[in-house]
A = this chain, B = another copy of it.
Amino acid sequence: MPFDWQKKYCERVGHMYGSMTRKLMHLIADPDVISFGGGLPASDLFPLERVKQVVDDTLESDGAAILQYGTSEGYGPLRRAVAERYVQRGFDITDENVLVTSGAQQGIDLVSKILIDKGDAVLVEDPTFLTALQAFSLFQARYLTVPVDGEGMRVDLLPEILRDNDVKFIYVMPNFQNPSGVTISLERRKELLKTAQQYGVPILEDDPYGELRYSGEALPTLKELDDGEQVMYLSSFSKVLSPGMRVCALIAPDEVMGKLVFAKQAADLHTDNLAQRIVYGFLERDFLDPHIQVIINSYRRRRDAMLEAMDRHFPAEVSWTKPDGGIFLWVTLPEGMDAMDLFERAVRAKVAYVPGSCYYANGGGDNKMRLNFSASDEERIELGIQRLAKVIETNMG
């Protein structure tokens, strides 16, 4: 008789959120489908030769230590290199403020673990990063949402929400947000921080794309603007180097580090040593910044190709964001059109995207869709946008 697991699951299992996208993504395994659905970096740009070089050297010089247990805080030289990089950018930190995590996703999980009790409120942008919601939901968070417009989070709405609710923390992606591609203006960043300080609410700033800017001026991060030890900052190496390595730096105030390190130890003891050595090698040898420039040049062309193709092919009733960086843009279909309904037709027409409603913590966004421009070359972008335009037009009748 098979065992009845159902009666053993805990409440958390009832909060498994957004498996929808896993199902959708399985639909598009067909290589003929041009997928704007994922969030993948361009595979053809990976600096494979330099990775090999670093791996060879580091296994030669440091092999036994790489194969042995490491420390939960992360590889010391990597923590120092990350700290130096961010001190140069204006962060007031030392290596003791750097925790190496297995991707930003783990950083989000660990922060949740030390801050969220069942039923606690987390404030997120509307829309926001889906996989962050999946992590928060497993800790049984509830969501308060603030809409995003062309200048990012509507921070003018914050004071009322923070006054009326006990918010555990604010999760925000200020640069080229996933999914919308929108960037929070400098004025709003200052306002966000001021309001958070006034109401005593910590901020988790997720910045995977901050260094991938193709136009406009770089803006200071919330962490740089913070003088109150209130911001935790996630600096993933997934988009600027390689997501397959799962390495991120979680930069956090002194007081909170001990708790995060304990949670990290209980979660997986430490992050893979060789992956940490590779990232360190890229920083130490100054391989990273030249590589970021290569990515920027390519992604800028892809972004422009997608924007131009949309200008040419999309009906006048459709609008979209024009991001200054990152890897996504955000499409608004005519009111009443449902991007989830459209999805199967799109896949039949050999093009895919993620329906926008996946990114709304408390529902909404039915007529939105997220498009990725980093993983397809210009030719496939043109063809895919043509296909998608036809699907939308047909649906408009």
Residues of A within 8 A of B (CB): 1-5, 7-13, 16, 19, 22, 38, 40-41, 43-44, 46, 48, 51-52, 55-56, 59-60, 63-70, 101-103, 105-106, 109, 113-118, 120, 131, 134-135, 138, 168-169, 200, 202, 228-230, 238, 242-246, 253, 255-256, 259, 262-263, 265-275
Residues of B within 8 A of A256 (CB): 5
Residues of B within 8 A of A56 (CB): 52, 56
Tell whether A270 pairs with B253 under 8 Å between CB atoms, given A9-B259, A68-B46: no
Q: What separation, in Å, do the CA atoms of A347 and B38 have in the docked complex?
A: 54
Q: What separation, in Å, do the CA atoms of A189 and B16 have in the docked complex?
A: 34
Q: What separation, in Å, do the CA atoms of A244 and B65 have in the docked complex?
A: 8
8 contacts between A and B (CB under 8 A): A8-B168, A22-B265, A40-B69, A46-B63, A105-B267, A131-B265, A274-B274, A274-B275
Copies of the polypeptide in the assembly: 2
Q: What separation, in Å, do the CA atoms of A51 and B51 have in the docked complex?
A: 16
Judging by beta carbons under 8 Å apart, are B266 and A246 in contact?
A: no
Q: What separation, in Å, do the CA atoms of A266 and B120 have in the docked complex?
A: 18
A31 to chain B, nearest CB (A): 14
Judging by beta carbons under 8 Å apart, are B262 and A105 in contact?
A: no
A121 to chain B, nearest CB (A): 12
Of all A-B residue pairs in the complex, the 7 with the closest CB atoms, nearest first, are A244-B273, A67-B242, A102-B268, A272-B272, A46-B67, A10-B117, A48-B63
Q: What separation, in Å, do the CA atoms of A145 and B340 have in the docked complex?
A: 50
Residues of B within 8 A of A269 (CB): 103, 105, 131, 243, 246
Tell whether A115 pairs with B10 under 8 Å between CB atoms, given A3-B202, A202-B5: yes
Residues of B within 8 A of A275 (CB): 272, 274-275
Contact of A246 among B8, B103, B200, B272 (CB under 8 A): B272
Q: What separation, in Å, do the CA atoms of A84 and B387 have in the docked complex?
A: 43
A11: nearest residue on chain B (CB-CB)? B117
Judging by beta carbons under 8 Å apart, are A8 and B67 in contact?
A: no
Judging by beta carbons under 8 Å apart, are A13 and B59 in contact?
A: no
A330 to chain B, nearest CB (A): 21
Judging by beta carbons under 8 Å apart, are A134 and B55 in contact?
A: no
Judging by beta carbons under 8 Å apart, are A272 and B102 in contact?
A: yes
Q: Which of A10, A66, A113, A268 has the most CB of B within 10 A?
A: A268
Judging by beta carbons under 8 Å apart, are A244 and B272 in contact?
A: yes
Judging by beta carbons under 8 Å apart, are B55 and A267 in contact?
A: no
A347 to chain B, nearest CB (A): 20
Q: What separation, in Å, do the CA atoms of A103 and B266 have in the docked complex?
A: 11
Residues of B within 8 A of A109 (CB): 266-268
Residues of B within 8 A of A228 (CB): 1-3
Q: What separation, in Å, do the CA atoms of A265 and B43 have in the docked complex?
A: 21
Q: What separation, in Å, do the CA atoms of A270 and B63 have in the docked complex?
A: 24
Q: What separation, in Å, do the CA atoms of A259 and B102 have in the docked complex?
A: 20
Residues of B within 8 A of A268 (CB): 101-103, 105-106, 109, 246, 268
Judging by beta carbons under 8 Å apart, are B4 and A200 in contact?
A: yes
Q: What separation, in Å, do the CA atoms of A55 and B67 have in the docked complex?
A: 13
Judging by beta carbons under 8 Å apart, are A259 and B16 in contact?
A: yes
Judging by beta carbons under 8 Å apart, are A244 and B48 in contact?
A: no
Q: What separation, in Å, do the CA atoms of A4 and B256 have in the docked complex?
A: 10
Judging by beta carbons under 8 Å apart, are A230 and B117 in contact?
A: no
Residues of B within 8 A of A68 (CB): 40-41, 43, 46, 242-244
Judging by beta carbons under 8 Å apart, are A8 and B63 in contact?
A: no
